[in-house]
Structure 1
Amino acid sequence: MSRPYKEIQSIEEWNAALEGSASRPLVVFKHSTTCPVSANAYNEFANYLNSDAASEDTDYVLVKVIESRPVSNQIAEDVAVKHESPQIILVKDKAKYWTASHWSITEAHMKAVMN
């Protein structure tokens, strides 16, 4: 069963998602719509969301880094993670728990870390 994700485009939406991570894990996928590596990572992210491994007790958000640059920059600042794209960040209790970027973003890697 596929888990839904929400695209966030404003600082307000990001702040709400970050606040929510105090009670539910949050997975942030930072995606560049112009990058082939990011397209591959997006497919891996989608495969993970379509797998049985994706938890329904976790919130998933997507940020398009070019279209929503201020949000992307705020995320990097708030969770103290140097911006990369593509990038996946697992946030728990409003802090970075795990991050990966580029070719490290695979369905298998996500399953290993998040389960």
Structure 2
Amino acid sequence: MLTKIDTFEQFEDVLKKDEPFFLLKHSITCPISDAAYKEYEKFSGEDESVPTYYLAVQEARPLSIEIAEKFEIKHESPQVLLFNKGEAVWNTSHWKITNKSLKTAKVENNL
């Protein structure tokens, strides 16, 4: 199940849970981002063992930038980040966002 995040406070609440989760940063106007969102949605529907969140860059730009700066990961859109124990442990972007790549990231990070 996908959960939308719009504010830094919401993001911090998720981080404080101290459980692994995926976050998709996507553009609501980009066709590449739309394809990534569909892959992410498919992954989320097939595997609910790791929570999946997303933000729309146009609606939450300050949050998107803050995440990039805080975790020292170049901002891209679309982009998926995997967090574990409060740290960004994996990320990918654009056409590399696939159901398969998300499953692989989960396995490679022992989740």
The reply to whether TM is greater than 0.5 is yes
**Aligned twin of 1:17:** 14
Structure with more helix by fraction: 2
TM-score using structure 1 length: 0.87
Percent identity of equivalent pairs: 34
Aligned: 1:67 with 2:66: no
Q: For residues 102 and 3 of structure 2, what CA distance do their matches in structure 1 show? A: 18
**Aligned twin of 1:28:** 23
1:49 deviation in Å? 1.2
Which runs of 5 or more structure 2 residues have no equivalent in the other structure? none
Which runs of 5 or more structure 1 residues have no equivalent in the other structure? none
**Aligned twin of 2:86:** 94
**Aligned twin of 2:99:** 107
1:38 deviation in Å? 0.1
Q: For residues 69 and 77 of structure 2, what CA distance do their matches in structure 1 show? A: 15
The Cα offsets for residues 3-49 of structure 1, whole Å up to 9 and x where unpaired, read as x12101111101111222x2x10110001001000000001001111
Q: Which runs of 4+ in 1 moved over 6 A?
A: none
SS state at 2:39 partner: helix
Residues 37, 86 of structure 1: 8 Å contact kept: yes
The Cα offsets for residues 30-82 of structure 1, whole Å up to 9 and x where unpaired, read as 0100100000000100111122xx242x2211110111101111111222211
Measured on the aligned residues, the alpha-carbon RMSD in Å equals: 1.1
Q: For residues 86 and 109 of structure 1, what CA distance do their matches in structure 2 show? A: 14
SS state at 2:23 partner: strand
